[in-house]
Chains A and B, each alone.
Chain A
């Protein structure tokens, strides 16, 4: 009897298994969850809500996406959950932030690495910029670096924490300019780091382009350089670090996109990879992101895979010295 039940159960499992494998033509059959490992209202959450708002359209996935926030420990809580507990059935998607999760996995103490996830598509790229207070004596990166050369370790500048894009940019700047500076990680994130710059607690700071753009428009800061390969369309007048003579690539750019856990059926990954980039390119999404000052950068699965691999190599080298 027991054997019979076990056999039946096995058969049933096999049947549903095959039905599932063949039935991807119907995917998705129910709403999809998108895990965001930062709190509601943060930049990642805010952008994730905009780029997924058309998921229910017929030409996109045909099913709505619900955002579920799992914040904590700079994203580690959410990504740990995503790597170890999320079901790899295609109904549990996650938002990634590069370089954060790769840098954290190199630092150690987490349950994930770039191999734990399968990227689907990238929606945004928010470069880091160097800001100083509106009344600061610094007017170019050379001024900043010269001050740092005269006062080794005496130039204080803020950023959103450790092992995030801002920190990476700070490390790159120190390495490229050959100076020692005092990076002050802020426990209140990018907003806290920006406040420290505006109030004059620190002499400068690394911050998100989107936030710095608003702060500059409000007359509170000057933006001295962009940590990216090219100038940004939001700030056409601000030169990149490369233009100012510092060999710094785009390793600190905060890329945001969608991924699934390893083990998700290939058919589901292919379906998502084919439809999601088009969903990001929807006109309504684009105009909302533009209005919010959030730079978009849509990349397909192959491009993201390449970017992840490149980032892994750069960060391993950069963080080895810590």
Chain B
């Protein structure tokens, strides 16, 4: 209960002011495409030089919390996921915004984020020692099987048919091989200097999601100028609260998946949202509504990606190993004040550690309050005429891609992938499986190679990848996931003709 003892420190005027600053600033940074939580936190580090350690961490913690949630704003309103965590949010969130329910979608996402986020931080407070063991349990073989589990999701994710889902997943896996391979030292498919560093996920995300939409808006803009303007429905917050808590299944699946997967170093944050989305669809009686603006989709995805925030810091705070890029940046923020995280952190610097954690807890609630406040206003984005909107999104897309690594190469990659995706979408392919392939490719490959190098030096491939309960648990889930998809495919025979694809495309835009 030590965290309650230090709770008062969060509310001193200076600290609370920084918390507010971090939360509001974080929401704005998070809503800007291309500014991922990692970068937002890195941008704030120099400001903490002048602050006390405790104050600096409050600022960073609040910013981390709210940038993750802020990413939902551009995902829902503009269909540009700010970070990989928000991919799943676009699927239903943007469909809702196009029906004029943007305000509702944003409210749902902020409330679900707060619920997931608070749960995640509570896990961090109470279960840190157990979670630390879990974070270490995942070796190369387990991460490989986990990535394979992700691949099995690809086929059923937001595509008109399993085959097309798998095909776009394969394109993603191929794109992931481009660049320097850090383990074997090979250079692959570097046909242009822009891709020498591989395809960065964020510009790819922006291009694949935003550009097809921009092109569609431009092509439509001229023929029907006023008819397209959507009336934005107002949505009382009270009803949004009731909605979130009545969708218990999506909320609990999202929160649980987010906290468990979020903990796995290096993998969690990127796929937690997608896995939660996929799982809650599989368990939902309204499977067919997913992808058409169903509130469960938004709730599952957003509760998952905020639930991950707390547990993702466990390896950093207890073992002093940053488990995610954002945690690595936070480590810098701690080191600069001479604080070494580790098991002694809570004994040597209880005031800093607990105030930091408390500020994330309060930050989740503040984020929700401000998020709900802006939700009503922000949803009016849908009223902007298509021509203006397209220009705006295009501008943001270029800015966002450039700012990731200050490189024009990323802008070219974004534009090329976006243009290609526009044509692929006309044939019923969709962007989400492609991005998932791009994210999972390096995880599966690197861990397989590392695992096989270790296996060859020690016990041999067979026993390395196929022994231990965790390996088998993951293998069983993989088999279950594949058989479920096959069974559903046979049961429903989802064929797609070109007409269906065009019809779907029109329904979406």
Contact = CB atoms under 8 A, between A and B. Distances in A.
Contact of B136 (A163, A195, A290): A195
Nearest to B321: A195
B507 to A, nearest CB: 39
A72 interface: yes
A72 B190 CA distance: 13
Interface stretch (A4-12, A186-194, A245-253, A267-275): A186-194
B197 interface: yes
Contacts of A276: none
Interface stretch (A46-54, A114-122, A296-304): A46-54
B383 to A, nearest CB: 36
Contact of A41 (B42, B139, B315, B450): B42
Among B137, B338, B405, chain A packs the most CB atoms within 10 A around the CB of B405
A107 B185 contact: yes
A195 B138 CA distance: 10
A195 to B, nearest CB: 5
Interface stretch (B213-221, B328-336, B431-439): B328-336
A137 interface: no
B385 interface: no
A49 B457 contact: no
Nearest to B183: A185
B182 interface: yes
B197 A77 contact: yes
B344 A218 contact: yes
Contact of A195 (B42, B182, B315, B405): B315
Contacts of B198: 72-73
Interface size class of A (residues with CB under 8 A): 35 or more
A215 interface: yes
Given A156-B457, A162-B185, A163-B185, A184 B38 contact: no
A218 B266 contact: no
A70 B335 contact: no
A80 B196 contact: yes
Contacts, number: 154
A257 B456 CA distance: 39
A31 interface: no
Contacts of B321: 191, 194-195, 198, 215
B405 A201 contact: no
Interface in A71-112: 71-74, 76-77, 80-81, 107, 109
Interface string B444-461: 001100100110111000
Given A195-B315, A195-B321, A46 B265 contact: no
A182 B457 contact: yes
Interface string B142-155: 00000000000000
Contact of A291 (B182, B328, B329, B335): B335
A223 to B, nearest CB: 14
Interface in B48-85: 49
A73 B341 CA distance: 29
B387 interface: no
B320 A214 contact: yes
A70 B407 contact: yes
Given A161-B183, A214-B342, A49 B46 contact: yes
Given A107-B185, A109-B187, A161-B182, A184 B454 contact: yes
Interface string B313-325: 0010001111001
B416 interface: no
Nearest to A73: B180
B139 A201 contact: yes
A154 B458 contact: yes
A39 B324 CA distance: 13
Interface of A: 39-42, 45-46, 49-50, 53, 68-74, 76-77, 80-81, 107, 109, 153-156, 161-163, 182, 184-188, 191-192, 194-196, 198-199, 201-202, 214-215, 217-220, 288, 290-294
24 contacts: A39-B325, A40-B45, A50-B336, A72-B180, A77-B196, A153-B457, A155-B457, A162-B184, A184-B450, A191-B321, A199-B137, A199-B139, A201-B140, A201-B454, A202-B454, A215-B320, A217-B342, A217-B344, A218-B340, A218-B343, A288-B49, A291-B335, A291-B337, A291-B338
- Sorted nearest first, the 6 A-B pairs with minimum C-beta distance are A72-B197, A218-B342, A291-B338, A41-B329, A40-B42, A182-B457
